[in-house]
Amino acid sequence: MNGAALDQVFRAASGRIIGALAARFRDLDLAEDAFSESCVRLLQAWPADSAPGDAASWLYRVAERIALDSLRRQRTRERLVLNDSYLEPAGEKVMADDRYIIPDERLRLIFICCHPAVAADARAALTLRLVCGLTVAEIARAFLVTEPTLAQRLVRAKRKIANAGVPFELPRPELWPERMEAILSTLEVTYAKAHEDAAGSGPHASFAAEVLHLTRLLTELLPSSADTHALAALVRYAEARRPARVDDDGMMIPLSDQDPARWRRDLIDEAGGFFARASELGADSPRVLQAALQGAWCARRCLEDPAPWSQVLGLYDRLLVVRDDPVVRLNRAVAVAHVVGDNEALAEIASLDAIRLASFPPFQAVRAELCARSGRMAEARAAYEALLALNPSAAERLWLWRKLRAFPG
Amino acid sequence: MKYALLIYENEAFYGPDETGPEMQEIVRRHMAFSQELGAKCIGGAGLKATTTATTVRMSGDASTVHDGPFAEVKEQLGGFYLIEAADLDEAIAIAKKVPMLQDGLIEVRPMLGG
């Protein structure tokens, strides 16, 4: 197994192993450190190309031993009485079928990372680090902060969990509805971060699969939650479009221009199943409406199929009623342009606060498109340039340069 | 684990002393609540209004004494419970049941040595 594949293994194993260790030992730092150390030892024991086939099981066994050793040293220092059974590795589990060696405590880990006692700006970072195995550097980049800042955030969050006594159990079922909102928005942010950066490239593939898997687990945990099913649908619709999001040169392709033939039908069908259940449970929740919007686009089979602008406008009308914010208004305006007319669309966004939104990329993006459509070229160009100045992704940058090249001079 | 539940409410609501009907009602409810907590309650007290407070501020070796509470805020510390709870979730569940007659907040703080 080569370096990149091993990296993949570490990421994929992170959530399961840290979750299992944290559940067993009630200590996030211990779990995280033991897992990191086990990765180091694997690399030392097996130089590249020869790592064991089931590296995850090896990592788990080693990490568990490392954690136990660490605890024994700690207990000896503190002169506490050792409870032998507590400190022995789980015997039969080691003999069992490899797949079941690592108990799946990822859900528990997510509830812990998203506990209301954890600072809101740390929940997504902690989830990405512990459950999805992203490095501190990757997470810091995604959230546009420095590595030390992000590292501090993680340290503080783990300290809070330890000091305040956040339990290492799944919360009682009565609490799940109130805890779900924090988890769902954390997963949304988490997926969006991976989605932004990835042009289908390797490092994020298993991580996106992780989020998809977790959203499915959550629907099993909460079969009557509209939002949970809607989120499961949303991430699948988004993931389905990944193969079509950039062209061969790495340039971004906007949703309405993507070739549906490149989308993953299997994921769209899965999404459709979750969406159907979600709309039975709560047709007018913002997340369900967002899933409906994605579903409308993903119903296209090929580029010759007309774009569903009327349906999209109708859905944005409904979404605006339950969530009136600039993002909804901006996206709705684009639909208005296609269904009603460019002037009406421009009128829609004229009411938005241009000063406050000047550094908000969707604002400039929509303005640029609407101005270009109405022949207001100088304004369109200014908006595209403003977008460039806002430090977009490489894929988006390529697309913006292409747009700007179309302007004279 | 041991936690302190710090109760913040707008004290003006309760009137100038212990004789007002709101104060009598809340005291009644707190007594019932303490009973309900039983052994989980390891301490607590209601505090007289911040108009009775005196603040001693320490700076290095010097100390100064001022009239009034630490801070002028919309809600004031009116009382507290010290409780024994299995974990933060249990402490939060108990905090949600602390009697209040108006909007306010409860700060949940783990105790040292708990």
| pLDDT band (50, 70, 90) for residue A92 | very low
State the pLDDT at residue B57. 87
DSSP per residue over A214-227, as a string? HHHHHHHH-TT-HH
Distance between start and end Cα atoms, chain B: 5
Is residue A81 over pLDDT 80?
no
Q: Give the residue from A40, A21, A44, A41 showing the smallest Cα distance to A31.
A: A21
State the pLDDT at residue A85. 45
Least confident interval from A197-201, A367-371, B58-62: A197-201
Cβ within 8 Å, pair B88-A163: no
Tens of pLDDT, residue by residue over A275-308, are 999 999 988 899 999 999 999 999 999 999 999 9
Percentage of chain B lying above the pLDDT 70 cut: 99
C-alpha A73: how far from chain center: 38
Q: Which of B87, B96, B106, B111 to probe the A interface (max A CBs under 10 A)?
A: B87
Cβ within 8 Å, pair A171-B89: yes
State the pLDDT at residue A140. 84
Mean of the per-residue pLDDT values of chain A: 85
> What is the value of pTM for the model shown?
0.76
Least confident interval from A264-273, A399-408, B97-106: A399-408
CA distances (Å), A18 to each of A63, A182, A253, A362, in order? 9, 21, 37, 37
Are A249 and A398 contacting, i.e. CB atoms less than 8 angstroms apart? yes
In DSSP terms, B108 is beta-bridged to B5
DSSP per residue over B32-97, as a string? HHHHHHGGGEEEEEE---GGG-EEEEEETTEEEEEES-S---SSEEEEEEEEE-SSHHHHHHHHHH
Tens of pLDDT, residue by residue over A318-366, are 999 999 988 899 999 999 999 999 999 999 999 888 888 888 888 999 9
Percentage of chain A lying above the pLDDT 90 cut: 50
| pLDDT band (50, 70, 90) for residue A86 | very low
Collapse the DSSP code of B8 into the 3-class scheme (helix H, G, I; strand E, B; otherwise coil) and give the result: strand
Q: In this complex, how many residue pairs, one in chain A and one in chain B, have their CB atoms less than 8 Å apart?
A: 25
Residues of A with CB under 8 A from a CB of B: 115, 117, 163-167, 169, 171-172, 175
Q: Give the residue from A136, A167, A135 showing the smallest Cα distance to A153.
A: A136
Q: What is the mean pLDDT of residues A220-246?
A: 91
Q: What span, in angstroms and rounded, lies between the C-alpha atoms of A323 and A330?
A: 13
State the pLDDT at residue B111. 95
User: A-chain residues within 8 Å CB-CB of B110?
Assistant: 163-165
Cβ within 8 Å, pair A167-B87: yes
